């Protein structure tokens, strides 16, 4: 069972470069989420998509854009990377249409901005 | 801003003891509560969820919920060194599919 798949697993960028993080889930979930995790800050929601065709800002959306490409895929784009965006990024999905269902996480992308 | 508070730890317990992890939350309308375990360098892994007041048991894990006090806890019985990890409390935001996470409590179980 693949679950939630994120690519790439590691990436190093230079300040000002752009990059898209990819996420795909095979659980037929309708909701998908992007988080960042920094030491001492916990998991913070960047953007989410409650259902195909909708996206909404989370707690820390500045500097990011998202695209819900279809029900399976939800991408996160950094248009002009900054050192402050160095973090571990997690994608998650949930079957929110069935009530109080948990979120399931991918393995993460470790991103360093130099 | 909805908040979820956890003691950062580390909480140190000897092997075989009961570990007690606590969490408080600010969103009084929250209905769903989740505990995730995260090993160093890995992604969060769901271990328990609870929706109703009282206790819910699953193997060595017991989740406890008190909505009136806005408090949720996780008990780990017969703690093992393999339980050493960071435990994240997550609360579903009322009216949304999103979760607010606490910053996590690090648990260290010594042999």
Q: Strands B105-110, B11-14: parallel, antiparallel or unpaired by DSSP?
A: parallel
B51 touches A: beta carbon within 8 Å: yes
Contact A102 B46 (CB under 8 A): yes
**Closest-CA residue to A31 (of A60, A79, A66):** A66
User: Which value, in Å, is the radius of gyration of the alpha carbons in chain A?
Assistant: 13
pLDDT value for B45: 96
* Mean pLDDT, chain A cut into blocks of 10 residues (114 residues total): 91 97 96 94 93 93 96 96 97 81 95 96
Distance from CA of A99 to the nearest CA of B (A): 9
Residue of A nearest to B97 (CA): A96
Contact B43 A33 (CB under 8 A): no
Contact A105 B97 (CB under 8 A): no
Helix or strand run (H / E) with residue B82: none
pLDDT value for A40: 82
pLDDT value for A41: 83
CA atoms within 13 A on the CB side of B23: 29
B32 touches A: beta carbon within 8 Å: yes
What DSSP character marks residue B36?
E
pLDDT in tens, B27-83: 998 989 999 999 999 999 999 999 989 999 999 999 999 999 999 999 999 999 999
Distance CA A32, CA A67 (A): 11
């Amino acid at each position: 069972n693949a679950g939630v798949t994120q690519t790439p697993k590691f990436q190093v960028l230079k300040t000002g470069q752009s990059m898209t993080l990819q996420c795909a889930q095979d659980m037929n979930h309708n909701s998908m989420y992007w988080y960042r995790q920094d030491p001492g800050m916990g998991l913070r929601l960047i953007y989410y998509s409650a259902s195909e065709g909708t996206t909404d800002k989370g707690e820390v959306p500045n500097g990011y854009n998202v695209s819900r490409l279809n029900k399976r895929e939800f991408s996160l784009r950094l248009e002009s990377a900054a050192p402050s965006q160095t973090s571990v990024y997690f994608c998650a999905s949930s079957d929110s249409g069935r009530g109080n269902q948990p979120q399931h996480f991918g393995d993460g992308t470790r991103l360093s901005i130099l | 801003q909805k908040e979820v508070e956890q003691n950062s730890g580390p909480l140190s317990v000897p092997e075989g003891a009961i570990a007690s992890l606590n969490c408080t939350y600010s969103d009084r309308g929250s209905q769903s509560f989740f505990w995730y375990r995260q090993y160093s360098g890995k992604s969060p892994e769901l271990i328990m969820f609870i929706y109703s007041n009282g206790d819910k048991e699953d193997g060595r894990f017991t989740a406890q919920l008190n909505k009136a006090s806005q408090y949720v806890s996780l008990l780990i019985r017969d703690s093992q060194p393999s339980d050493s990890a960071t435990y994240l409390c997550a609360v579903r935001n009322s009216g949304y599919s999103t979760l607010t996470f606490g910053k996590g409590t690090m648990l260290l179980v010594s042999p």
